[in-house]
Chains A and B, each alone.
Chain A
């Protein structure tokens, strides 16, 4: 399958994310970070965006979640555009940024409470979601401790929990498991799969091939700002006739360093 082929010309009714020919070049850069990038994520999918460092994963996610616009191309989230329905889209969207998005000197509970209020939660509902978030991140014991005192694993877990506060229909995660131990990663993986089973569509970026293979129902391989290949892990391997995903990845993206 070539990118952009499925669902064309009109995105199907089950397309949660539909991006067409996105181009984005940063002002102080000499080559585009996204170069004719197209992507479709369907309802209930666990989609993995796999790519080497500097491939354009964060840029793609930022544009797909409306943080900034692309230079050209179009985006629909559940059929809505950011121009007309920014607020509605943001309501159903949960974003877990690559850099930890937590206040260091606030406690776990205070962080959850603040971001929860900004999601429009209050009262009993807010208290419930905070409790769920703490349990989800396995931080109930540490609810009253400042984030600054947390390990990377704890921070990552809380970072994720905050993204889930509004019970999003579309959860977008940018490398949520960077720099954490096997235990935390295992926990996060299990929880994400559980959330996905409950119906949340997930868009997940990573540069770990095993991670993508383990979690995702469909994978897109991004390099140089372009989606090179997409499909289920097994389909990708069958098509290419390559034995494992890592080799396919290196075959598609080349062996030289990407961020030099």
Chain B
């Protein structure tokens, strides 16, 4: 036991002396998590998972513009109102095609008046069963960035069309109510006898008769179905950084192997397992600090960058356990690398390639569900996937410890197997 601690203390001392190495170990995942989350926030915007900003220029300043604003206020569109005294259509066009905004809407001058007029004329077609007159539609102008994704484009257009249809329908109904009242009056009936008297019509119109209801799994988390890049990225890139410590671990073993240290250690009455455990403990401390740093960045720096804050309100013990076991798996891999490779160059090349590959496969860069079917099935072999799945179950889906035991078990097994193989290799490498 004392020998394990001696090995741990020695390793921590070595780490403390290697400031640059340590800095890289912490800076790399920190920079990545900030960068990737910022980048993905934009992707969210482009795919419509975040409110899309819509430039709104009302040159008309009439009822139509006000109704449209009111209708759109309940959608996922975020209206940016431009002052019609300072901007014109050309400005909107420039802003949208320039990529500054994705969508622009312009209400032309005189649109409200024209719309009211045409609505009124709709029911003044005269009696008899002749073909109705063609009405002239009032145009609202739309500008869409040609660079946005097709899904977002059709989503935005559908919402705008829905709003315009509703406004037109409400206007038609109001008009219809008027016409109906007049007709009844002409037939000698009291207006109160009409089933559509007064303000009843718009109120009736708003009654929902058909409803679309979304169902979620049996998870307890509120709003769990929303893809949250921050809650996903913080643990993902922390894991990435943690697994990268495999390279310095391998490096420290190779430094020993390629000098007289390894020979000296082998001649001492101490098992390689003791030395490995000591090393693993030291680097586990590093991994814990890495996770803490990334989590703190997520919690306190992200809000300053306009990102939502990372929260670990749920199951702190289970999260700590996941961090610890992920670190162990990373340490095991590092020890394994240190004994299979013959030089630091080999270990760092093989190590970084495999960690990046395992990260990609595990869903650190692109969520697993967004991968092709084959890759989704393959992702199960990546230790980063086990850690990440555990984190997502805890942080996104709101599950408790019992739900992630299988993933934690895999991480522990991975550590045990890598250390066992390394121990056997150490025997051969003698």
Contacts and interface: CB of A to CB of B under 8 A. Distances in A.
Interface stretch (A29-37, A111-119, A189-197): A111-119
B309 to A, nearest CB: 39
A99 B430 contact: no
A105 interface: yes
B267 A106 contact: no
B2 A117 contact: yes
A146 B17 contact: yes
Contacts, number: 76
B13 A110 contact: yes
Contact of B430 (A67, A90, A119): A67
A115 B17 contact: no
A177 interface: no
Contact of B264 (A91, A105, A106, A115): A115
Contacts of A67: 263, 266-267, 430
Contact of A106 (B2, B17, B262, B270): B17
Given A67-B263, A118-B270, A119-B268, A105 B14 contact: yes
Nearest to A159: B260
A219 interface: no
Contacts of A119: 268-269
Interface in A46-76: 62, 65-68
Nearest to A163: B264
A118 B265 contact: yes
B3 interface: yes
Given A67-B430, A117-B2, A95 B264 contact: yes
A93 interface: yes
A119 to B, nearest CB: 6
A163 B13 CA distance: 22
Contacts of B264: 95, 97, 101, 115, 162-163
A97 B267 CA distance: 10
A103 B10 contact: yes
Contacts of A122: 2
A66 B263 CA distance: 10
A202 B330 CA distance: 43
Interface in B254-279: 259-270
A71 to B, nearest CB: 14
A99 B261 CA distance: 8
A215 interface: no
Interface string A78-116: 000000000100110101011111110110001000110
B268 A118 contact: yes
A35 B430 CA distance: 20
Interface string A135-163: 00000000000100000000000010011
Contact of A101 (B10, B13, B17, B263): B263
Nearest to A120: B269
Q: Which of B2, B9, B260, B264 has the most CB of A within 10 A?
A: B264
Contacts of A162: 264
Given A68-B430, A98-B260, A93 B2 contact: no
Contacts of B17: 105-106, 146
B269 to A, nearest CB: 4
A89 to B, nearest CB: 9
Contacts of A91: 269
Contacts of B9: 114
A99 B6 contact: no
A67 B272 CA distance: 12
A117 B267 contact: no
Given A103-B14, A114-B6, A117-B6, A87 B269 contact: yes
Given A95-B267, A110-B13, A100 B6 contact: no
Contacts of B265: 101, 118
A3 B267 CA distance: 26
Nearest to A88: B269
B259 A106 contact: no
B263 A97 contact: yes
A162 B261 CA distance: 11
B214 interface: no
B13 A115 contact: no
Contacts of A105: 13-14, 17-18
Interface in A206-230: none
A164 to B, nearest CB: 12
A97 B14 contact: no
Interface in B15-74: 17-18
B3 A117 contact: yes
B261 A102 contact: yes
Contacts of B262: 101
A119 B269 CA distance: 6
A117 B275 CA distance: 12
7 contacts: A87-B269, A90-B267, A97-B263, A98-B260, A101-B263, A102-B261, A110-B10
Given A117-B3, A118-B268, 4 more contacts: A98-B260, A101-B259, A101-B264, A114-B6
Interface of B: 2-3, 6-7, 9-10, 13-14, 17-18, 259-270, 430
| Pairs of residues from A and B, 10 with the lowest C-beta to C-beta distance, nearest first | A101-B260, A97-B260, A101-B264, A117-B6, A99-B260, A68-B430, A105-B17, A95-B267, A90-B269, A97-B263
